[in-house]
Amino acid sequence: MRRAVLLAALAAGVISSTVGRAADQPAPPARVAIVTSDVERFFALYDDSALAAQPDALAARYLAEPSPGLVEFMALRRITPERLAVALRDKPHVYRDARGCAARLGNVRARLVDATDRLAALYPAAKFPPITIAIGRAATAGTANAKGLYIGLEALCAAKFIEADDEDRFVHVIAHEYVHAQQPLAQVEDREETVLRAALIEGAAEFVAEQMSGSVGYPLLHLWAKGREAELETAFLAEKDAKAIGSRWLYNKQGTDGWPGDLGYWVGYRVAKSHYDRAPDKAAAIKAIIEMRDPATFLAESGWTPGMKL
Tell me the per-residue pLDDT of 97-144, one tens digit each, with 9 for 90 and over: 999 999 999 999 999 999 999 999 999 999 999 999 999 999 989 887
| pLDDT value of residue 14 | 24
Do 212 and 175 meet the contact criterion of CB atoms below 8 Å apart? yes
Please give the model's pTM, rounded to 2 decimal places.
Answer: 0.87
pLDDT over 90 (residue 1): no
Instruction: List the one residue out of 214, 212, 221 whose CA is nearest residue 149.
Output: 212
Q: Which residues contact 168 (CB under 8 A, 6 or more apart)?
A: 215
| Residues 252-276 pLDDT 10s | 988 988 899 999 999 999 999 999 9
Identify whether the C-beta of residue 244 lies closer than 8 Å to the C-beta of residue 264. yes
**Average pLDDT rounded to a whole number, residues 34-54:** 95
231-246 confidence digits (pLDDT tens): 999 999 999 999 999 9
User: Could you tell me whether strands 34-35 and 131-134 are parallel, antiparallel, or unpaired per DSSP bridges?
Assistant: parallel
Counting Cβ atoms within 10 Å, is residue 49 exposed (0-12), middle (13-18) or buried (19+)? exposed
